[in-house]
């Protein structure tokens, strides 16, 4: 009898335990899982950054960059390609300075114009003018397609801010020089003059960036020839450089006599069918910009499709800064490319202004990229000769500028910050 009573007491106790403890335990487990989930989410969440934080940091670093550049040029004023004028990168722990012929020569002046735009200070204006003047000799250099990178990023930004008629003349003459490389049979502007064993008439995705110079030349002069060539080049690029998923090859080769497509390569990528990260960013930026000048829906659609490819790529890291090639089989043990991230952020800010139903999404992603770059990839204060950002990759297959500061990463970083400021001021 005692055993029966004791057994009944045990059963009653267990029933009570089930009724009270198990639900409580489940509730506790639920909170624990929620806490784990929140912790994981919070660890991946990118802290916000303000434009003021970015520009304060930039102002301190770029003073150093100016001084370091001037000192390096004084020590080594000439190269076999002409006088050294500006800085491009940090190579092997040393400041790498360049002549005006280098495709990156316009980015340092452009950065200084951005600083003048933000601060209105004479210091930045004087240095912007000085470093811009070094690029003028390029206005008649018909041996390159990089006229937009060199002239528009320097003289173009300056003309936008100070309306100097001399700057206007340089822009127009540079545009006239650039269109001498247009082949109407191909329907595009020739890119490189090298590697003729691989292609007779190459057109590269980077060349989309040079169209801004042509569009502006038509705005300035009223002459539609620049505009018409830019539009035809952009349309040809869609036809020959983009795959069905809106990823891009790097190079399309043509027969210049017949216009026949002869090659589709990815010269700076992991392999020809791979997705070189900076190339995808050039394409996005180029079609956003082309839509701004033309209003053609085909260019806006192309930009949105490229944005979708980039932002939803399964190999895009959680911090939104891509590896140098989305398809590098050595991921994650391979180089990042911060420059691809900053170009993308700048393009997304502009894309968010174009009235699509994804505008808020594009702005949010641009904010996240900008914050990620600032918090995770910026130089330590006073380091890297005044460059703003680390871990960009120039040309991994050729073995140079791998995981280093690069001037164009900084340029598009600050352009993105100023676009963010203008958006939020509205």
Domain of 255: which CATH number? Answer: 1.50.10.10
Q: Is residue 34 part of a domain?
A: no
Position 266 in a domain: yes
Per-residue confidence (pLDDT) for residue 37, from 0 to 100:
34
pLDDT recorded at residue 426: 84
With respect to residue 46, please indicate whether it lies within any of the assigned structural domains.
no
Active-site residue list:
146, 206
The predicted pLDDT at position 226 comes to 98
With respect to residue 14, please indicate whether it lies within any of the assigned structural domains.
Answer: no
Measured CA to CA, the distance from residue 109 to residue 128 in angstroms comes to 5
Domain count, the chain: 1
Does 27 fall in a domain?
no
How many of the other CB atoms lie within 10 Å of CB of 415?
Answer: 24
- Give the C-alpha separation, 421 to 426, whole Å: 9
Q: Which residues of the chain have pLDDT under 70?
A: 1-44
Range of the domain at 135: 56-425
Classify residue 210: in a domain, yes or no: yes
Q: Judge whether 25 lies within some domain.
A: no
CB atoms within 10 A of CB 376: 17
Residue 26 included in any domain: no
pLDDT of the residue at 46:
84
């Amino acid at each position: 009898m005692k055993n029966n009573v004791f057994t009944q007491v045990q059963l009653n106790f267990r029933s009570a335990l089930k009724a009270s403890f198990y639900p409580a335990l489940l509730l506790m487990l639920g909170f624990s899982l929620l806490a784990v989930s929140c912790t994981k989410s919070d660890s991946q969440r990118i802290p916000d950054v303000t434009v003021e934080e970015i520009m304060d940091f930039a102002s301190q670093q770029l003073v150093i960059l100016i001084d370091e550049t001037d000192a390096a040029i004084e020590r080594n004023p000439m190269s076999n390609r002409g006088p050294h004028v500006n800085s491009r990168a940090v190579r092997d722990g040393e400041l790498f300075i360049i002549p005006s012929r280098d495709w990156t020569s316009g980015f340092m002046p452009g950065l200084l114009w951005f600083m003048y735009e933000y601060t209105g200070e004479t210091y930045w204006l004087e240095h912007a003018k000085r470093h811009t003047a070094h690029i003028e000799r390029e206005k008649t250099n018909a041996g390159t397609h990089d006229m937009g990178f060199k002239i528009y990023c320097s003289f173009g930004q300056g003309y936008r801010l100070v309306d100097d008629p001399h700057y206007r003349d340089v822009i127009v003459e540079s545009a006239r020089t650039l269109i001498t490389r247009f082949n109407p049979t191909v329907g595009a502007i020739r890119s490189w003059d090298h590697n003729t064993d691989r292609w007779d008439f190459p057109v590269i995705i980077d060349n989309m960036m040079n169209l801004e110079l042509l569009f502006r030349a038509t705005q300035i002069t009223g002459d539609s020839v620049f505009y018409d060539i830019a539009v035809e080049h952009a349309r040809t690029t869609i036809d020959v450089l983009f795959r069905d998923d809106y990823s891009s090859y790097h190079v399309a080769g043509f027969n210049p006599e017949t216009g026949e497509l002869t090659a589709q390569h990815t010269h700076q990528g992991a392999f020809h069918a791979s997705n070189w990260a900076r190339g995808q960013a050039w394409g996005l930026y180029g079609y956003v910009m082309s839509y701004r000048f033309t209003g053609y829906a085909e260019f806006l659609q192309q930009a949105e499709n490229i944005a979708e490819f980039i932002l939803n790529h399964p190999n895009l890291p959680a911090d939104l800064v891509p590896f140098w090639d989305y398809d590098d089989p050595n991921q994650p043990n391979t180089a990042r490319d911060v420059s691809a991230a900053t170009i993308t952020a700048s393009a997304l800010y502009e894309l968010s202004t174009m009235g699509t139903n994804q505008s808020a999404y594009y702005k949010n992603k641009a904010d996240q990229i900008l914050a990620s770059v600032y918090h995770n990839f910026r130089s330590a204060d006073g380091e890297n000769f005044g460059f703003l950002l680390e871990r960009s990759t120039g040309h991994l297959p050729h073995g140079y500028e791998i995981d280093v500061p690069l001037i164009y990463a900084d340029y598009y970083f600050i352009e993105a910050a100023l676009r963010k400021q203008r958006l939020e001021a509205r």
